[in-house]
Amino acid sequence: MKPSNIIRGRFLMAAVFSLMANFLQAQNNFDMIKQIKAGVLDIGYAEAGTPSGQPVILLHGWPYDIYSYKEVSALLAAKGYHVYVPYLRGYGTTRFLDAATPRNGQQAALATDVIAFMDALKIDKAIIGGFDWGARTADIVAALWPERTKALVSVSGYLIGSQQANKAPLSPKAELSWWYQYYFATERGEKGYEANRRDFAKLIWQTASPDWHFTDAVFAQSAVAFDNPDHVAITIHNYRWRLGLAQGEAKYDDLEKQLAAFPVITVPTVTLEGDANGAPHPDPANYAAKFKGKYAHHTITGGIGHNLPQEAPKAFADAIVEADGFTK
């Protein structure tokens, strides 16, 4: 064999091993949770992909955790993206730096956490994606900090809310779907969630995704995140704040005023919905006008429920790539 062929063969083998290493890293990155001090938090997060890749930040919801994005992260890392999946405040290894900091779950606080996370990691601009609480947070970041948001992927579309708007009663059928919000408004509900947080979460998973037949092992993998010492306090405050039953922090008042006006989102966006989402969610036709940049919506079929990234990881990863493509 010619020396040149040997050299080419070695380079080829090295490239193959490098690709395999990157793939394995993408598959196993959730086994090595990192920590970074950002704002009022010490945030735990998973990371996948190469440092030179386009940053993507993926945000989970309640009561879920970063494992909603394990397969999505592997798919995106294989395409060259640099993926970050942080635990929200009150989940997993994320902790408050000061015991005196209010355990605040209001929407502006969660969005500010993302900006602090980006600042700590020196991420100037990222594609942001999310579902449930994570979608609302991603929407807010895109609306209030468009200069930090390259593109957006939001499950169930536009979820920015206001305390004033939440005062308006819904139809009885719609109110029924928010039963846990009213349960959490009571002392009994707070104690019940503290005592039964895993059973409660499993019930939400089952009702929000009626066609998703997750295993006990899959649930147990995520349920550990609910053992966070601040999880119950953050959950209770989030739902009470929405109904005007709990105060937020004054430092977020200006942000909440902006959000109460339901600002439009100008960054390129893809919204997604599952065809079997059992959780309360808006009709896509009702929010399409809130997205003023390049925009697409997809309803994912096949019995896909509320936890769309984990139930349909390829569809979510494809949406990230599509939204990124809108920027070119």
The residue-averaged pLDDT of 149-172 equals 96
Given a cut of 80, whether residue 3 has pLDDT beyond it is no
Average pLDDT taken over every residue of the chain: 93
pLDDT of residue 10: 53
Res 182: pLDDT: 97
Q: DSSP labels for 20-79?
A: HHHHHHHHHGGGS-EEEEETTEEEEEEEES-TTSPEEEEE--TT--GGGGHHHHHHHHHT
What's the pLDDT score for residue 4? Answer: 53
Q: DSSP letters of 198-230?
A: HHHHHHHHHHHSTT----HHHHHHHHGGGG-TT
The whole-number pLDDT of residue 2 equals 55
| Tally of helices (H runs) and strands (E runs) in the chain | 14, 9
Task: Look at residue 1 in the predicted model and tell me its pLDDT.
Answer: 53
CA distance 282 to 304: 16
Q: Alpha carbon 190 to chain centroid distance? A: 24
- What is the pLDDT at residue 31? 84
pLDDT at residue 285, as a whole number: 97
Sort residue 122 into left (φ over 0), alpha (ψ -120 to 50) or beta. Answer: left
In the chain, what is the straight-line distance between the N-terminal and C-terminal CA atoms, in Å? 45
- According to DSSP, the β-strands at 41-48 and 34-38 are antiparallel
What pLDDT shows up at residue 146?
98
pLDDT value, residue 302: 98
User: pLDDT (tens digit, 9 = 90+) per residue, 217-246?
Assistant: 999 999 999 999 999 999 999 999 999 999
Higher model confidence: residue 293 or residue 1? Answer: 293
Confidence of residue 24 (pLDDT cuts 50, 70, 90): very low
Q: For 167-209, how does the pLDDT look when each residue is reduced to its tens digit (9 = 90+)?
A: 999 999 999 999 999 999 999 999 999 999 999 999 999 999 9
Three-state DSSP at 263 gives coil
The dihedral region occupied by 297, where left means phi > 0, alpha psi between -120 and 50, and beta the remainder, is: beta
pLDDT of the residue at 23: 47
Asked if pLDDT for residue 15 goes beyond 60, the answer is: no
Q: Are strands 149-155 and 126-130 parallel, antiparallel or unpaired?
A: parallel
pLDDT of residue 294: 98
Beta strands 55-59 and 126-130, pairing class: parallel
Residues 239/62/95/141 CA torsion (nearest 10 deg): -80
Q: Are 226 and 201 in contact (CB under 8 A)?
A: yes
Read off the amino acid at residue 38: A
pLDDT of amino acid 29: 75
| Helices 3-28 and 70-78: angle between axes, nearest 10 degrees | 160
Q: Is the pLDDT of residue 28 over 80?
A: no
Q: Are 107 and 259 in contact (CB under 8 A)?
A: yes
Q: Provide the pLDDT for residue 5.
A: 53
For 264-309, the pLDDT digits (tens) are 999 999 999 999 999 999 999 999 999 999 999 999 999 999 999 9
Mean pLDDT for the stretch of residues 77-90: 97
